[in-house]
Structures are given as C-alpha cells and as structure tokens.
Amino acid sequence: MNHRQRLEACITGKSVDRPPVALWRHFPVDDQYPEFFARSVLEFQSAFDFDFVKVTPASSFCVKDYGVVDQWKGNPEGTRDYIRYPIKHARDWLKLKPLLPTEGFLGGQLRALQVITCELDHSTPVLQTIFNPLSQAKNLVGKEQLFVHMRQYPQELLAGLEILTENTIRFIQCCLPLGIQGIFFAVQHAQSTLLSSNELEKFILPFDQKIINAVSHLWLNVLHLHGKDIYFDLFPKEGFSVVNWHDQETSPSLQAAKSSFQGAVCGGLKQWETLVYSSPKDVESEGKQAIQATSGERFILGTGCVLPIIAPRSNIQAARKSVEK
C-alpha cells in the first residue's frame, strides 16, 4: 500500500498492511521564509516517510498581515512569542478588514505550500494547518484580553470573528488548487476549563462550521482539539475523517473515542515524556501498546500536539518503526 491507499483504508475501517503514522513539528525562523519553510518540511518528510504531511506554519501566519509582531525565543516546541497585539480596544474588532489571501504573509504561505505539493509524491497527502477563528482572535488581542472582550464586549468580538472566518475560507479556497487533501483544523479553546458550553456554541461552533462546510468535500480533514478537559462530544465531527487530541493527558481514551466517532483516531504517543525524554526502545514500546489497544483499526499513530523540535532523531525513527510488523 502507498500512503494514500493506507489512509483511505484506515479511515473507513478496512484492513491495512500496517497502521499509518505521522508526526509534525514547527520549523522556527525558517517558517518566516516560504522557500526555507518548504524545504524544511520536505526534508523532514524525506527523512521519516510519514503517511501524511501536515504543513505546520507559525500560528501567526494568518494574522501577521494585521500587524502582529512575534518572535521565536527558543521555545522547544518551536512556537513564537507574541510581542505586539494590534487589537487594543474592543472597538478595534469593528475596524478589521478582510485580508487578500494571495498577498503578504498569507501569500507567502501559499508559495510554500505550492513548493511542497509540487515536490512530494502524489501518493503522500498534504494537509494545510488552519487555526479556527477564535484561536486567530487570541493572537490578535492576547489570551487575557480575549476573555475580557468575550464576556464584556461580545458583539464586537463576534464581528471580528466574522471577518476572520471570511479570511480563512478565502485562504482555503486558494489552497485547494495547490493539491491539499484536507486541512488540519486546530481548535484551541474547546475546553471546559476555558469556556462554558454556551460560550462554545456562541463563539466557536457557528464560525467553525462555516469553515468545515468549505472543506467537507475533502477526504482527509483532521480535527485537532487542543488542551485538557475538551468538549469532545459537543464538538461536531461531521466533515472530519480523523480526530486528534492530547489522548495521553485527557479523556477520552483512544478506544472510547472510537465508539462515538466513525473515522480514525490519531495519537498514542506522549510528546514530551516519551518522544523527548525516553529511549527509542520506550518509544517503540508505547507505539505498539497503542496499536494493541486500538487493535490497529481506524488508528493513526501520532502525538497529541506538535513534536518538540528537540526530540532525538532516534526517537522519531523509533516511532516510525513501531508501526512495522
């Protein structure tokens, strides 16, 4: 089986020659330059031959054209620190204008994506990372102020979310001709410790659903529910063939999730304890335990979030090896 055949069989519950496996990571500094970013993604895939390629830009890529300033300061996950937020007051949400997806930093991401899809074998699916509108809003105003605006100035924030949703759909429409097979949809705030269920339904679901509708025809959309105490059951999964979350840190378990979701689950490996701090033998053992726990059916071996950039190459290779029979 090639990568696509294996994934198509996996997500529909058919037999596979081995479980699919995929890891993804940030490429700090390089992710600010389209050609270097594309080359880093391609080299990572060439080294480990994962079953799909998740293109993982910095989270600021979709809002940088609004004046966000960020910098990589050595975070071992490769994420950047936000230095300047352009939204200072609630009324600033009303001033947001739609972005042109082919220009500025968004346009640079499209150029990187074009290089990646052109150079990869067509049997290797490519997923573009898409941050949901509320995650983008956080990166425009900051974590603390986001919740202030949500609870004190909801109408202004909702107006901003409409613009961010429009931007996202237009960007995705530009990604489609480049050959993506799906999106990796990152939802960061669907956690009961952050939002009430009413807030989930007001500030996340209506906007996310518009984006999901725009990609529902793609066959390999991955839903990523970030964090702990996630609203796994409340978040709609129609339109997704794979769900990924921090399964080693929060419920549900991989096995439990399979009982309520008809597609494939992705996880099984601890991103820090195992892939960074343990030995290749431990990584391979944990991978095989996850395969055994899920019977290797409708299961993709991966982590609950990004692979730390300091993860040893030997451990990454051990994860890749663990799916082999």
Q: So what's the pLDDT on residue 325?
A: 84
Q: So what's the pLDDT on residue 58?
A: 98
The alpha carbon torsion through 97, 55, 126, 44 (nearest 10 deg) reads: 160
Q: So what's the pLDDT on residue 25?
A: 98
For tokens 């689950």, name the residue. 265
Instruction: Give pLDDT tens digits for 281-300.
Output: 999 999 999 999 999 999 99
CA 57 from chain centre, in angstroms, equals 10
Give dist(CA 1, CA 57) in Å, integer: 29
Structural domains in the chain plus CATH codes: 3-321 (3.20.20.210)
Give dist(CA 134, CA 87) in Å, integer: 14
pTM: 0.98
Q: Which residues contact 11 (CB under 8 A, 6 or more apart)?
A: 219, 220, 241, 242, 263, 264, 298
Instruction: Give pLDDT tens digits for 142-184.
Output: 999 999 999 999 999 999 999 999 999 999 999 999 999 999 9
Report the interhelical angle of 143-152 vs 133-141 (nearest 10°). 110
3-state secondary structure of 218: coil
pLDDT band at residue 139, thresholds of 50, 70 and 90?
Answer: very high
Give dist(CA 317, CA 322) in Å, integer: 9
- % residues pLDDT > 70 (the chain): 100
Give dist(CA 250, CA 261) in Å, integer: 17
Is the model's pLDDT at 248 over the cut of 90?
Answer: yes
Q: So what's the pLDDT on residue 77?
A: 98
Q: So what's the pLDDT on residue 314?
A: 98
pLDDT band at residue 272, thresholds of 50, 70 and 90?
Answer: very high
Give dist(CA 35, CA 108) in Å, integer: 9
Q: How far apart are the two ends of the chain, measured CA to CA in Å?
A: 14
